[in-house]
Amino acid sequence: MDHDQWLQARNEGIGASESATAAGLNPFQSQLELWMLKTGRIEPTPEAPIDQMRSPMYWGQVLEPVVAQHYTRLTGRKVRRVNAILQHPDYPWMLANLDYSVVASDEVQILECKTAGEYGAKHWKSGPPDYVHCQVQHQLAVTGKQAADVGVLICGQEFRVYRVERDDELIAQLIALEHQFWQQVISDTPPEADASESARFALNQLYPGDSGERVDWSEDVEMNQTFDQLLQVRGRLDQLKTEETALKHRLQQAMAEASEAILAQGKISFKRSQDQVTLNTKALLNDQPDLLAQYPLKKAGSRRFLVRV
């Protein structure tokens, strides 16, 4: 199947790579954003070719065969591509698209190929991160297999293999969490937004404008408790920001004209940036106001969240 058909099939359920998101355990994508994708409120963002070449996902796909080949070379186990979307026999909304199956092995049956760059490598210090564990356990649940190997290429030069054994207790928890999320998709009920950048993006897409309506929450206990908690947190943040600024100023004063300071737990850089010459657009438009009509640049408005007490 082509890429568009694959995307359409994935919307019929939860794929293995979406397992951690559906369970609320993916630091890179919120349940709300995934829900919006599954309910058709937003489309996967297409990337231009030049952007693809800078995308970790792009290089993950390019290097996937390399990871598989090196796995075979390192372990001696042969692998085979699986060009199909698999479905759980009891939970039809649980789907899995395997990278590779391991041929004729009683020890391990699945190979999951990963790459990690400079930023992603930190998530692999103690083995596969939680979101990868969720993905692999989801695959084992769908296929009924007992073990998978995760081959990961770190920063293009360090290759590791991790064995992940089937964990039926974890699988039962995943199934419950994923089922809860899928029911929200079926019932068109949005999940609660979390603190992630993904949730902020999803909220901006879901509610891009305001209607002018005023809602009265003066008697709503839950909303008033949430508002009170927000005020308390912001008060603590203001206090912490004041303390941070005082400590920073103390260090700056002690450094005087020094450029760097070395300490037991790290170092401080306090250097002057280079002078820059920029265009004074305000003065230019005062002198030549017609330029605005000749070279307009429209910026989309956004909603501002303001709190008053």
Asked whether the CA dihedral 45, 48, 53, 54 is positive or negative, the reply is negative
Buried b (16+ CB within 10 A) or exposed e, 289-305: eeeeeeeeeeeeeeeee
Provide the 3-class DSSP secondary structure of residue 70.
helix
Structural contact between residues 114 and 60, judged by C-beta atoms closer than 8 angstroms: yes
Tens-level pLDDT at each residue, the chain (309 residues): 555 665 566 678 999 999 999 999 999 999 999 999 999 999 886 654 555 666 777 888 889 999 999 999 999 999 999 989 999 999 999 999 999 999 999 999 999 999 999 889 999 999 999 999 999 999 999 999 999 999 999 999 999 999 999 999 999 999 999 999 999 999 999 999 999 999 999 999 999 999 999 999 999 999 999 999 999 999 999 999 999 999 999 999 999 999 999 999 999 999 999 999 999 999 999 999 999 999 999 988 999 999 999
Whole-model pTM above 0.95? no
> Which of these, 124, 187, 208, lies nearest to 161 by C-alpha position?
124
Q: What angle do CA 8, 13, 142 make, to 5 degrees?
A: 120
User: What distance in Å separates the CA atoms of residue 74 and residue 76, rounded to the nearest whole number?
Assistant: 6
Q: In this structure, what DSSP letter does residue 102 have?
A: E
Beta-strand (E) ranges in the chain?
Answer: 79-81, 86-87, 95-96, 100-102, 110-116, 147-154, 158-165, 260-263, 266-269
The letter for the amino acid at 215 is V
Structural contact between residues 167 and 130, judged by C-beta atoms closer than 8 angstroms: no
Q: What crossing angle do the helices spanning 130-143 and 168-186 adopt, rounded to 10°?
A: 90
pLDDT reported for residue 50: 52
User: What distance in Å separates the CA atoms of residue 61 and residue 254, rounded to the nearest whole number?
Assistant: 51
The letter for the amino acid at 116 is A
Name all domains of the chain by residue range, CATH numbers in brackets.
Answer: 3-205 (3.90.320.10)
Beta-strand (E) ranges in 170-276?
Answer: 260-263, 266-269
